[in-house]
Amino acid sequence: MSSVNDSTSQNDTNKIREEYRKRENDLRSKHTKQLRQITDAHMKEIEQIKSSHGEQMGQYRQKMNATLTERDQQHQEAIQELRQVQQRRLENLNQATQQKIQEQRNFTQSEKKRIQEANENRFEALSENYSKNMSETNEDFFNKLKDMRVQQKEAIDGQRDQLLDKHDKEVGRMREERDLTVKEMKRNYDDYRHQAEGRMKAQDGRHSRDMKRMADSNVASVTREREARKQHERILRDGFKDNLETTKADFQKEVDRERRARERIGADFQGTVQTRIDNDIRRLQETISSLKEKSVRDQLETDRKADVRINNTIRAYQRRLDLLVDERDKMLRDFKVQNGKDIYTVQERANDQMKETARFYRQKMETENVKNRDNFLTITNDLKQRNEFTVDQADQRIATIRDDSLAKEKRLQQNYEKTLENIQDNNVKERNELRSTMLDEKEKALRVLRMKMRENDAASGRRLSSVISEFKKQIAELNDQLMRVKRQSGAREKQIVESLKKEQTAHLEAQKIQYEQRLARLRTDNDNKAQASERRHQEQMNNVLGAVRKT
Q: Which of 476, 499, 492 is nearest to 129 (CA)?
A: 492
Question: How far is CA 190 from each of CA 175, 291, 421, rounded to the nearest angstrom?
Answer: 22, 15, 174
CA geometry: angle at 444 spanning 441 and 447, to 5°? 150
Contact criterion met (CB below 8 Å) for 489 and 129: yes
d(CA 498, CA 394): 43
- Asked whether the predicted pLDDT for residue 535 surpasses 70, the reply is yes
| pLDDT score for 477 | 72
- Do the beta carbons of residue 430 and residue 72 sit within 8 Å? yes
Rg (CA), the chain: 72
Per-residue pLDDT tens over the stretch 453-508: 667 666 666 766 665 666 667 666 766 765 675 666 566 656 665 766 677 667 66
pTM of the predicted model as reported, rounded to 2 decimal places: 0.21
- pLDDT at residue 176 tops 70: yes
**Phi then psi for 67, rounded to 5 degrees?**
-75, 155
Please give the DSSP secondary-structure letter assigned to residue 243.
-
- 512-546 in b/e form (b: 16+ CB < 10 A) is beebbebbeebbeebbebbeebbeebbebbeebbe
Percent helix, strand, coil in the chain (nearest 5)? 100, 0, 0
Listed by start position, the domains of the chain span 2-58+71-142+366-550, 175-331
Mean per-residue pLDDT for 92-104?
70
Tell me the C-alpha distance between 384 and 321, whole Å.
Answer: 91
pLDDT at 302: 66
pLDDT tens by residue, 263-308: 665 555 555 555 655 666 666 666 666 666 666 666 666 666 666 6
Tell me which DSSP letter residue 65 carries. Answer: G
Closest CA to 478 of 498, 453, 460: 498
Q: SS3 for 426?
A: coil
Task: Look at residue 41 and tell me whether its pLDDT is greater than 50.
Answer: yes
pLDDT tens sequence across 236-262: 555 545 545 555 566 566 666 666 666
Mind listing the pLDDT tens digit for each residue in 120-174? 776 677 667 766 766 776 677 667 667 766 776 676 676 667 766 776 776 667 6
Share of the chain above pLDDT 70, in %: 20
Mean pLDDT of 101-115: 72
- pLDDT of 45: 66
Q: What is the DSSP letter of 1?
A: -
Q: What would the pLDDT profile of 418-453 be if each residue is shown by its tens digit?
A: 655 665 565 555 656 666 766 676 677 667 666 766
90 and 529 in contact (C-beta within 8 Å)?
no
Whether the Cβ atoms of residue 38 and residue 457 lie closer than 8 Å to each other: yes
Phi-psi region of 424 (alpha: psi -120 to 50; beta: other; left: phi over 0): beta
* Region 391-406 average pLDDT: 65
Q: CA-CA distance, 175 to 163, in Å (whole number)?
A: 18
Three-state DSSP at 68 gives coil
The arithmetic mean of pLDDT across residues 513-521, rounded, is 71
Instruction: Give 195-235 pLDDT, tens digit per residue.
Output: 656 666 666 666 566 656 655 555 555 566 666 566 655 65
Residue 446: φ, ψ to 5°: -65, -45
pLDDT band at 1 (very low <50, low <70, confident <90, very high): very low
Q: Please provide the distance, in angstroms rounded to a whole number, between the alpha carbons at the two ends of the chain.
A: 93
What tens digit of pLDDT does each residue of 340-381 get? 666 666 567 656 766 676 576 667 667 766 776 676 677 667
Cβ contact 40:401 at 8 Å: no
HEC string of 267-301 equals HHHHHHHHHHHHHHHHHHHHHHHHHHHHHHHHHHH
CB atoms within 10 A of CB 95: 10
- Pseudo-torsion of CA 525, 529, 531, 533, nearest 10°? 180
Residue 97 has pLDDT above 70, yes or no: no
What is the sign, positive or negative, of the torsion defined by CA atoms of 475, 476, 481, 483? positive
What pLDDT score was predicted for residue 481?
Answer: 66
Measured CA to CA, the distance from residue 424 to residue 417 in angstroms comes to: 10
- Torsion angles phi and psi, residue 431, rounded to 5: -65, -40
Helix (H) or strand (E) holding 544: helix 494-550
What count of other Cβ atoms lies within 10 Å of the Cβ of residue 166?
A: 12
d(CA 84, CA 79): 8
Alpha-carbon span 8 to 10, nearest angstrom: 5
Q: Determine the pLDDT at residue 235.
A: 57
